[in-house]
Amino acid sequence: MFVKTVIRQGEKILQQDKQIKDLQKENNFLYQENKENRSTIEDLEDYKRHSSIVHKDIEKQLLELQNINRLGNSEEDKNIMRNKIINQIIKELADSKSN
């Protein structure tokens, strides 16, 4: 009877060891997945901040573009100023797209 009890306890210990190893593998997998998710979240937050900055800059440039009509300059000068602003906007959008 004592031998049977020892054998059963040994079997239980082996089962628990196997369960612990399985849980450790799952824990390591989840740790790695969380690490990757944190990195992705940081990247998205950086992209969000950058997008907000670009949005504000373009908004300012569009307001400048709108204000050009109110200036007392010639149409040729206004067109030159408009083209500069439009080119800046295009460049900024291209730069933000490449990042």
Q: Given a cut of 80, is residue 97 above it in pLDDT?
A: no
Instruction: Identify which of 66, 58, 49, 63 has the alpha carbon closest to the alpha carbon of residue 88.
Output: 58
Q: Given a cut of 70, is residue 99 above it in pLDDT?
A: no
pTM of full prediction above 0.85: no
Question: What is the average pLDDT across 74-87?
Answer: 90
Q: Are 61 and 87 in contact (CB under 8 A)?
A: no
Q: Which of 1-10, 21-30, 75-84 has the lowest mean pLDDT?
A: 1-10
Q: Given a cut of 90, is residue 5 above it in pLDDT?
A: no
Q: Given a cut of 90, is residue 6 above it in pLDDT?
A: no
14-64 residue pLDDT tens: 999 999 999 999 999 999 999 999 999 999 999 899 889 989 999 999 888
Q: Are 31 and 40 in contact (CB under 8 A)?
A: no
